[in-house]
Amino acid sequence: MGLTPKDYQQMSQEASPPSRTVKNGAMAFLIGGSICTLGQIVLELLKSMGMEQDQASALVSLSLVLLSVLLTSFGLYDRVARIAGAGTLVPITGFANAMSSAAIEFRSEGLVLGLGAKMFSIAGPVLVYGISAGVLYGLIYYFIR
């Protein structure tokens, strides 16, 4: 039985559930915004206690990473992500979840080949891009000045 692309597209549309774009967007906005609001509340609280901006910002980042890793290790991050969708991809929490879930999944293979290798297979592209971009921007800045 040969399917034409048009027939395949029609079958695919009939089998796919309808997307809930508005609901998904609203949930992503609400939960992603809540994560950012939590970070801002903690930042303001730390600054009101006399901590400097740089130190408070670093502590907020560490707190959000720790919260994300804890939620991932207890299996709660995935439940929130099912509801929030892209809202949980707030860069620092989404990256922490990706790193910790890979480490947890492959920990039975050992510290180096399991945990370390899988964790850095996710971090590798981010590090390569960040370092490459930093070198490129540094060279451009050097030659412009």
Rounded to whole angstroms, the Cα distance separating 144 from 123 reads 31
Average pLDDT value for residue range 110-127: 67
- pTM of the prediction? 0.66
In this prediction, residue 140 carries a pLDDT of 94
**Which pLDDT value is given to residue 122?**
67
Among 92-96, 100-104, 116-120, the minimum mean pLDDT is found in: 116-120
Terminal Cα-to-Cα distance of the chain (whole angstroms) = 66
Greater confidence (29 vs 116) lies with 29
d(C-alpha 69, C-alpha 65), whole Å: 6
Q: Which helix (H) or strand (E) holds 63?
A: helix 53-73
90-94, 102-106, 107-111: which has the minimum mean pLDDT? 107-111
Mean predicted confidence (pLDDT) in 57-61: 94
